Amino acid sequence: MTTTHPAGADGPLTPTPAAWPRATRSARPSANRPATGDVLPHSEIIRRSGDDAHGKGHDFRAMFAGVKPVLSGADLAICHMETIYGRDGGPFTGYPSFKSPPQVAAALKDAGYDSCSTASNHTLDDGADGVHRTLGAMDAVGLRHAGSARSATEASRVTLLRAGPAKVAQLSYTYGTNGIPLPGEAPWTVNLIDRKKILADARAARRAGADVVVVSIHWGTEWQQPPDEQQRTLARALTAAHTAGRPDIDLILGTHAHVPQAYEKVNGTWVVYGMGDQLAGHMSNHSDRPDGRGNQSSMARFTFAGPTAPGGRWTVRKAEFLPQLTDVNDGFRVVNLNAALAAQPGRSDYARARDSIRDIVLSRGAAESGLIMAK
């Protein structure tokens, strides 16, 4: 079933990153990997990026400056680029069919991101041309990507990334593309959720040398904070899969729901059901009411430790989250809420947002499994 959303949402209602830590000196090698949620430039954000560029195109760097200190200390930082890019110079559009300025890619790279997942319900908003422009802009600034492709060869290639001493495979999938059919001659343009394909891709990534396999999934029900049945069922199936006694997938990162969702350890593997929108304009929910949850998100940060014996699994040594907020009243800046509250302890609005994010992130027992809120 597909329904349309009020202005401020990103698309139809349907079932639906972060950085990696610095390596440390220890007997076992380790790697820090943070990830964050949806980058969703609405029209007002596009206008603001033009103002911030002072007449010279678009500049998104100020919007991500608040998380740059965290990302700069990571071995590998992953984002989720929900929209596609338009031609340099425009026209650019927000909801419902997004075409973002390509300068977003340079800002993400400047902030410290190494790679972005690109499979979303908006991947085909401008057909194959939009995919070509988006991936080309990312290539131009050295930002890696996974989830969409310009050729069958590119689609079959594993995105392998370096995180300290670890090789990390990034995979990316979406529940759908807002009813836009996949190009008949190029069905590989964007990865759709298919349990068998995801597991086959994860095993191929392991054969290609991946120490850690990370799966980014655009899934869930918009504006619903508890994970839906599709999310829970797929998470159980993916985390239960093993090959030669080793899990096929080491971490699942969810996007799409517009609101922060819970973290949970499922079959011994961490699942982030939804990180929320990292960058978005004023958001309205399905009742057409302004909903500040659409500007709240969490940064997932997992430190993986190397195996105790050759061929063993890299395991999560430290699991953390950082609460974030797009401040719609201050130039759409992404705010690291804990850092902001340390500097401005009287900001009750920031404190309420932090507490709301913390409560939902921990709502499925993640604290008992070792998840902590980072300083």
Domain ranges of the chain: 25-373
Are residues 39 and 108 in contact, defined by beta-carbon separation less than 8 angstroms? yes
Total-model pTM: 0.93
Straight-line distance from the first to the last Cα atom of the chain, in angstroms, rounded to the nearest whole number: 42
Contact in structure between 139 and 32 (CB atoms under 8 Å): no
Residue owning tokens 């790279």: 109
* Phi-psi sector, 185: left (phi>0), alpha (psi -120 to 50), beta: alpha
Asked if residue 268 lies in contact with residue 247, where contact means CB atoms within 8 angstroms, the answer is yes
pLDDT in tens, the chain (375 residues): 333 333 334 433 333 334 443 333 345 788 899 999 999 999 999 999 999 999 999 999 999 999 999 999 899 999 999 999 999 999 999 999 999 999 999 999 999 999 999 999 999 999 999 999 999 999 999 999 999 999 999 999 999 999 999 999 999 999 999 999 999 999 999 999 999 999 999 999 999 999 999 999 999 999 999 999 999 999 999 999 999 999 999 999 999 999 999 999 999 999 999 999 999 999 999 999 999 999 999 999 999 999 988 878 999 999 999 999 999 999 999 999 999 999 999 999 999 999 999 999 999 999 999 999 998
Q: Please state, in angstroms and rounded to a whole number, the distance separating the CA atoms of residues 31 and 28.
A: 10
Q: What class, spelled out in words, does domain 25-373 have in CATH?
A: alpha beta
In 3-state terms, what secondary structure has residue 110?
helix
